[in-house]
Structures are given as structure tokens and as C-alpha cells.
Amino acid sequence: MDKSVKELCNLIRQIAYDIHVYHGHGHVEKIYENALIHRLRKSGVKVEQQFPLKVYDEDETLLGEFFVDLLVENKLIVELKAVRALASEHLAQLLGYLKSARCEHGLLVNFGSYKFEIKKYALSDARLSQIKTAAALRSLRSFAAI
């Protein structure tokens, strides 16, 4: 399925809202994650759960690995929470994922609040280009060192 990021965001927003209405707040994050994956796949959307991403230093040294809650159609990262309120560290986590994955678009969804919360974030084209250029230069330096 080749949907635009906007179409995917609209679909995810509606499905996540429907899940929040049906299940309410109070479950652990994994329940909402599984429900969202189930409904997205029923809608024909390609979604990967707990997708691993590696983080590298400027010299291409592997620093570690983290797992994105959902990677949708290989172009949208979705980070889920089940907390009373979203906090700045939740945003920092999503932005770190976007930067490390060199992905432009992300959604932060909170099922834990009485009021449903969803926010979309995007790295600017300039910032994304800067990250990709730096990564390409690091790769060239690594190749030249061989």
C-alpha cells in the first residue's frame, strides 16, 4: 500500500482514537500497541513492531540499539505511551529516534490519559539533509580508511 505520510497519519489517528474509545485508558502500553498493529494490518498497512535501530557515533562506532514501537510503511515512526500526560522526555525520545533512523516523520500517541493525545513531529528538510550528509561523510571516511 503506497499511502502518503499525511494519509498514514490520518489513518493512524483515527484508528488510535477508536482504540482509545473502545478500550479506554488504564491498560499497559503493550495492549494498545498490539491493538494498533492488529487494526493497521487489517487496513492493509505494512507495520513492523519493536523495529530495531542501531545508533552510531561519528566514526561509525556502534553505540547501541533501541527499538521503535512501530515503523509504518518504512516512513513513519510511531512511539506509543500509556501515561497520565506526555512529558518532554517522551518528545526527546521520539526526536532521537527520528534522527538516528534518518526518518523525517513521527507520531507520539498517548493512550494513558483520560483525554486521547496524539502529536505529529517532523524533522525539517534542512536538518534531515544535514544528518544524512554527515552520515555519508562518515561512510566515506570509513571507506577511505580501508
Q: Of 122, 82, 65, nearest to 90 (Cα)?
A: 82
Handedness of CA 72, 108, 3, 14 (dihedral sign): positive
Cβ proximity of 110 and 81 under 8 Å: yes
Exposed / middle / buried, residue 16 (Cβ in 10 Å: 0-12, 13-18, 19+): buried
Beta strand spans in 57-144 (E): 62-72, 76-81, 105-110, 117-122
pLDDT, residue 57, reads 86
DSSP 3-state assignment of 77? Answer: strand
All structural domains of the chain with their residue ranges: 5-145
In this prediction, residue 135 carries a pLDDT of 56
Cα(50)–Cα(69) distance, integer angstroms: 5
Q: In 10 A of CB 59, how many CB atoms?
A: 9
What region does 84 belong to: left with phi over 0, alpha with psi -120 to 50, or beta?
A: alpha
Per-residue pLDDT of the chain (146 residues; tens, 9 = 90+): 479 999 999 999 999 999 999 999 999 999 999 999 999 999 999 999 999 988 888 888 999 999 999 999 999 999 999 999 999 999 999 999 999 888 999 999 999 999 999 999 999 765 555 555 555 544 444 444 44
